[in-house]
Amino acid sequence: MNDTILVLDFGSQTNQLIARRIRELGVYSKLIHPKDIEKEDLTVVKGIILSGGPHSVYQKDAPTVTKAIYSWDIPILGICYGMQLMCHQLGGTVEASHKEFGITPIEVGSSPFLKTLPKRFNVWMSHEDSVLRLPEGFRSIAHSKTTENVIIEHQNQRWFALQYHPEVVHTDYGNEILNRFIEQTEAKRTWTMPNFIQEKTIDIRNLVKDGHVICALSGGVDSSVVAALLNHILKDQFTPIFVDHGLLRKGEREQVEHTFTQQFQMNLITVDAKELFLRKLKGIRSPEKKRKIIGHTFIEVFEDAMQKVGQANFLAQGTLYTDLIESGTKTAAKIKSHHNVGGLPKNLKLTLIEPLDTLFKDEVRALGKALGLPDSIVYRKPFPGPGIAIRILGDITEDKIRMVQESDAIFKEELIKSELDSSIWQYFTVLTNAKTVGVMGDKRTYDYVLALRAVTSLDGMTADFAQIPYPVLQKISTRITNEVPGINRVCYDITSKPPGTIEWE
């Protein structure tokens, strides 16, 4: 077990970032509900961080934590609300005063905790309350113009607190402060990908014994990393199943097959189900129906393929830490049923293995690299499970799939050539169901309008259209209208999300 620093989640938007920063500094860290702290194995907990949050400690129902933590001889760091809670619980006073928002200069005094930091630097504040009177044993070691207690420390215990947010990029020396706290905890810095692989090898071997594991491989980052990890650990006791539903991008099946059979020598089962999917989708125009049909057909095909493997008793899935946090807390309205193809029903009578469920996305990428996956997979752009089906408006035909695949490949080629590829979150082409009149080689044409969609985004929740220079757009448009029969007009989608979504369906 890794030495751990727990982050007690009091609800701030940036709490996940605290755990990420601690991990980047080499110590395993996770967010937990404050109520769950007593369920943790305290022998590995080397430090506790009380996070920020939107409440006031005096509010009715303000979140709190058992006062027992102050008797455990475990170093504690309070951040923003966490600082106020700590002071409130230990007998200080917190009041609605001296509020500060945004970048704020602070001045620091002398303390071993702040050694090597400059005397003045900027931090990012976001608080309405502040600590007016410190609990006994504490002293202030930094202040701002309006707030006396910006960084505080206890004189005998390893308790520290910050009124600002060290985890956000706008704060200077944020990582240094978190690093100082880690030093105080004496936690071993064992959080590296080679260690993660070693630990998972022991866990998964103990669990699987001489059993057999399968997984649905989509070629996306998460399922590819799961497959590479399980292949590394289990070799012949692992079989990935790749369903080609015919709605992938050009060359994708070949790339997946090449990587996993040639490079990794896996017993990959590829199911060519193009015709079945096309048949089931025939004449279907509604986006939601398309998603549902694809989801159900995928399960059917997957279950069929499982029979070929024979005696599987475990199913591996690429669930990430953020998936767990989000599904546990988010109550967002349903805009689209993001039926993830590969999201398999629970009644398969297989034990679920989710080896990535403690990892953030960037750690999954680091793991993929450590396992030898190529950059084309590790840095692959997000691709929806229903694939091209939701990029063809209206009914789906083989010819329309070809138009989207060919145009998408050209779009990709030109963005890579002009070095725009890596700065764009996601890009693709959409075949609108509209036809327009054009002229080609002196002849009238009546063909489809194609839309280019390219967005910048941090997490896919909001997005803006990418500002691709006109000459690049011009080249893409010329190539598509020349090289892809059936398309005589190209438009660029300049809608942000909201009000649009990234996909068109």
Helix (H, G, I), strand (E, B) or coil at 430: strand
Binding mask 340-369 for ligand XMP (x = CB under 6 A): x-----------------------------
CA atoms within 13 A on the CB side of 360: 17
| In the complex, minimum distance from the CB of residue 333 to ligand XMP, in angstroms, rounded to a whole number | 12
Q: Is 400 in the site for ligand XMP (CB under 6 A)?
A: no
Annotate 88-115 with b (16+ C-beta within 10 A) or e (fewer). bbbebebeeebebeeebebebeebebbe
Tokens of 466: 């990418």
For the question of residue 165 being annotated catalytic, the response is yes
Binding mask 280-299 for ligand XMP (x = CB under 6 A): -----------x--------
| In the complex, minimum distance from the CB of residue 423 to ligand XMP, in angstroms, rounded to a whole number | 16
| In the complex, minimum distance from the CB of residue 306 to ligand XMP, in angstroms, rounded to a whole number | 21
Q: What are phi and psi of 330, to 5 degrees?
A: -75, 140
Active-site hit among 80, 87, 406, 414: 80
Q: Is 387 in the site for ligand XMP (CB under 6 A)?
A: no
Give the residue from 160, 159, 137, 140 showing the smallest Cα distance to 148: 140
Tokens of 105: 């200069």
| In the complex, minimum distance from the CB of residue 367 to ligand XMP, in angstroms, rounded to a whole number | 21
- Determine which residue in the list 336, 361, 435, 479 makes contact with ligand XMP, applying CB under 6 A: 336
Q: Interface with ligand XMP by CB under 6 A: which range of 57-65, 67-75, 464-472, 497-505? A: 497-505
CA atoms within 13 A on the CB side of 58: 9
Tokens of 227: 């497959």
CA atoms within 13 A on the CB side of 135: 19
- Determine which residue in the list 386, 392, 431, 466 makes contact with ligand XMP, applying CB under 6 A: 386
| In the complex, minimum distance from the CB of residue 487 to ligand XMP, in angstroms, rounded to a whole number | 22
Give the CA angle between residues 369, 370, 372 to the nearest 5°. 65
Residues listed for the chain: 505
Give dist(CA 85, CA 12) in Å, integer. 14
Active-site hit among 55, 127, 154, 167: 167
Helix (H, G, I), strand (E, B) or coil at 145: coil
Q: Give the binding-site size for ligand XMP (rule: CB under 6 A).
A: 15
- Determine which residue in the list 109, 382, 469, 498 makes contact with ligand XMP, applying CB under 6 A: 382
| In the complex, minimum distance from the CB of residue 386 to ligand XMP, in angstroms, rounded to a whole number | 5
Q: Is 503 in the site for ligand XMP (CB under 6 A)?
A: yes
Binding mask 444-483 for ligand XMP (x = CB under 6 A): ----------------x-----------------------
Enter the DSSP assignment of 347. G
Q: Is 385 in the site for ligand XMP (CB under 6 A)?
A: yes
Q: Is 487 in the site for ligand XMP (CB under 6 A)?
A: no
Give dist(CA 54, CA 198) in Å, integer. 39
Give the residue from 247, 241, 243, 304 showing the smallest Cα distance to 281: 247
| In the complex, minimum distance from the CB of residue 337 to ligand XMP, in angstroms, rounded to a whole number | 7
Give dist(CA 258, CA 236) in Å, integer. 18
- Determine which residue in the list 277, 384, 430, 466 makes contact with ligand XMP, applying CB under 6 A: 384
Active-site hit among 98, 165, 245, 339: 165
**Where does this chain bind ligand XMP (CB under 6 A)?**
291, 336, 338-340, 382, 384-386, 426, 460, 497, 501-503
Catalytic residue positions?
Answer: 80, 165, 167
